[in-house]
Amino acid sequence: MQRLIEGRTGFKHLPSVRSKRVYGIWTVLITNLPLNLLFIAQAARWLHPDRCADIDPTAILDTINREFAAFPIEGSLWAAV
């Protein structure tokens, strides 16, 4: 993600880039109803780190994989710079 930011003209001037608050998330986590809980949990941690420090999206994903998924959901689902 850092390379994408660095490769875009003008991005280095954006307030979010300067303050290192740039985030990316797999779009399926937004559009797939059972998985959007992961998006909500991760967005809450990014937007309100102090209030949502006890929310653990990785633990939620582990529970989904263990209890509900027909096959494990793996890979990079979100990133932060």
Chain centroid to CA 59: 13
Q: pLDDT in tens for each of the 81 residues of the chain?
A: 788 888 888 888 999 999 888 999 999 888 888 899 999 999 999 999 999 999 999 999 999 999 999 999 999 999 988
> What's the pLDDT score for residue 70?
93
pLDDT in tens, 20-38: 889 999 998 888 888 999 9
Q: Which residues does residue 24 pair with via DSSP β-bridges, in sequence order?
A: 79
d(CA 61, CA 38): 7
Domain ranges across the chain: 2-80
Position 4 scores a pLDDT of 81
What pLDDT score does 67 carry?
94
**DSSP H or E run through 65:** helix 57-67
Q: What is the pLDDT of residue 77?
A: 93
